[in-house]
Amino acid sequence: MVLGLIELAVVLAVLGLLATVGWSLWTALRQNAAAAPLPARQREQVAAAVAQARWVPAHDEVDGVTRILVRRTYTGLDGLPAVLDERVLETFPAQDPAWEARFTEAMSTARYRCAYLNAEDSP
Protein backbone atom coordinates (compact mmCIF):
# COMPACT_ATOMS: atom_id res chain seq x y z
CA MET A 1 0.00 0.00 0.00
CA VAL A 2 2.73 2.47 0.98
CA LEU A 3 4.77 1.45 -2.04
CA GLY A 4 1.78 2.24 -4.30
CA LEU A 5 1.47 5.72 -2.79
CA ILE A 6 5.16 6.39 -3.33
CA GLU A 7 4.88 5.29 -6.96
CA LEU A 8 1.84 7.53 -7.41
CA ALA A 9 3.73 10.49 -5.89
CA VAL A 10 6.69 9.89 -8.21
CA VAL A 11 4.42 9.69 -11.28
CA LEU A 12 2.63 12.91 -10.27
CA ALA A 13 5.96 14.66 -9.69
CA VAL A 14 7.22 13.62 -13.15
CA LEU A 15 3.95 14.78 -14.76
CA GLY A 16 4.18 18.10 -12.90
CA LEU A 17 7.76 18.56 -14.07
CA LEU A 18 6.81 17.80 -17.68
CA ALA A 19 3.88 20.22 -17.48
CA THR A 20 6.13 22.97 -16.09
CA VAL A 21 8.75 22.47 -18.79
CA GLY A 22 6.05 22.41 -21.49
CA TRP A 23 4.46 25.61 -20.17
CA SER A 24 7.85 27.35 -20.03
CA LEU A 25 8.64 26.38 -23.62
CA TRP A 26 5.19 27.49 -24.82
CA THR A 27 5.58 30.88 -23.11
CA ALA A 28 9.07 31.38 -24.54
CA LEU A 29 7.89 30.52 -28.06
CA ARG A 30 4.96 32.95 -27.81
CA GLN A 31 7.25 35.76 -26.64
CA ASN A 32 9.68 35.11 -29.49
CA ALA A 33 6.83 35.15 -32.01
CA ALA A 34 5.61 38.50 -30.63
CA ALA A 35 9.10 39.97 -30.90
CA ALA A 36 9.58 38.77 -34.47
CA PRO A 37 10.74 41.45 -36.91
CA LEU A 38 8.17 43.20 -39.03
CA PRO A 39 7.73 42.22 -42.67
CA ALA A 40 9.70 44.37 -45.14
CA ARG A 41 6.69 46.44 -46.23
CA GLN A 42 5.75 47.34 -42.66
CA ARG A 43 9.38 48.19 -41.84
CA GLU A 44 9.38 50.59 -44.79
CA GLN A 45 6.13 52.16 -43.60
CA VAL A 46 7.50 52.66 -40.08
CA ALA A 47 10.76 54.08 -41.46
CA ALA A 48 8.82 56.56 -43.61
CA ALA A 49 6.65 57.58 -40.64
CA VAL A 50 9.70 58.04 -38.39
CA ALA A 51 11.37 60.15 -41.08
CA GLN A 52 8.36 62.49 -40.91
CA ALA A 53 8.25 62.64 -37.10
CA ARG A 54 7.37 66.07 -35.73
CA TRP A 55 7.87 67.81 -32.41
CA VAL A 56 4.59 68.62 -30.64
CA PRO A 57 3.88 70.44 -27.37
CA ALA A 58 2.34 68.42 -24.55
CA HIS A 59 1.53 68.58 -20.88
CA ASP A 60 0.64 66.18 -18.10
CA GLU A 61 0.36 66.00 -14.35
CA VAL A 62 2.46 63.59 -12.31
CA ASP A 63 2.23 63.44 -8.51
CA GLY A 64 0.65 66.89 -8.25
CA VAL A 65 3.20 68.51 -10.55
CA THR A 66 2.30 69.90 -13.96
CA ARG A 67 4.90 69.13 -16.60
CA ILE A 68 5.21 71.01 -19.88
CA LEU A 69 7.02 68.95 -22.51
CA VAL A 70 7.86 68.63 -26.15
CA ARG A 71 7.56 65.22 -27.77
CA ARG A 72 8.86 63.95 -31.08
CA THR A 73 6.10 61.72 -32.41
CA TYR A 74 5.08 59.80 -35.49
CA THR A 75 1.96 57.88 -36.42
CA GLY A 76 2.44 54.15 -35.81
CA LEU A 77 1.09 51.30 -37.92
CA ASP A 78 -1.94 51.13 -35.63
CA GLY A 79 -2.78 54.79 -36.35
CA LEU A 80 -1.86 55.93 -32.86
CA PRO A 81 0.93 58.39 -32.06
CA ALA A 82 4.23 56.85 -31.00
CA VAL A 83 6.75 58.88 -28.99
CA LEU A 84 10.38 58.83 -30.12
CA ASP A 85 11.69 61.45 -27.70
CA GLU A 86 10.28 63.47 -24.83
CA ARG A 87 11.82 66.48 -23.13
CA VAL A 88 10.46 68.25 -20.06
CA LEU A 89 10.71 72.03 -20.43
CA GLU A 90 9.15 73.21 -17.19
CA THR A 91 7.48 71.89 -14.06
CA PHE A 92 5.38 73.62 -11.41
CA PRO A 93 2.94 72.56 -8.69
CA ALA A 94 -0.57 71.81 -9.93
CA GLN A 95 -1.95 73.77 -6.96
CA ASP A 96 0.12 76.90 -7.74
CA PRO A 97 -2.12 80.00 -7.43
CA ALA A 98 -0.59 81.33 -10.65
CA TRP A 99 -1.07 77.96 -12.41
CA GLU A 100 -3.05 79.29 -15.39
CA ALA A 101 -0.58 82.07 -16.16
CA ARG A 102 2.41 79.74 -15.76
CA PHE A 103 0.70 77.06 -17.87
CA THR A 104 -0.14 79.51 -20.67
CA GLU A 105 3.40 80.92 -20.72
CA ALA A 106 5.02 77.47 -20.61
CA MET A 107 2.80 76.10 -23.40
CA SER A 108 3.66 79.15 -25.51
CA THR A 109 7.33 78.39 -24.93
CA ALA A 110 6.73 74.73 -25.85
CA ARG A 111 4.98 75.68 -29.10
CA TYR A 112 7.86 78.02 -29.99
CA ARG A 113 10.42 75.31 -29.19
CA CYS A 114 8.51 72.80 -31.36
CA ALA A 115 8.44 75.24 -34.28
CA TYR A 116 12.19 75.78 -33.89
CA LEU A 117 12.98 72.04 -33.63
CA ASN A 118 10.73 71.16 -36.58
CA ALA A 119 12.34 73.87 -38.71
CA GLU A 120 15.76 72.58 -37.71
CA ASP A 121 14.79 69.01 -38.74
CA SER A 122 13.26 69.94 -42.10
CA PRO A 123 15.46 69.77 -45.22
pLDDT digits (tens, 9 = 90+) for 96-120: 999 999 999 999 999 999 999 999 8
CB 119 within 8 A of CB 100: no
Domain range spanning residue 104?
Answer: 52-121
Each residue's pLDDT, cut to its tens digit, for the chain (123 residues) gives 777 778 888 888 888 888 888 888 888 777 765 566 878 888 888 888 888 899 999 999 999 999 999 999 999 888 899 999 999 999 999 999 999 999 999 999 999 999 999 998 776
Write down the pTM of the prediction: 0.64
| 74 plus 29 within the same structural domain | no
| 31 plus 87 within the same structural domain | no
- Count of structural domains within the chain: 2
Cβ atoms within 10 Å of 69's Cβ, excluding its own: 19
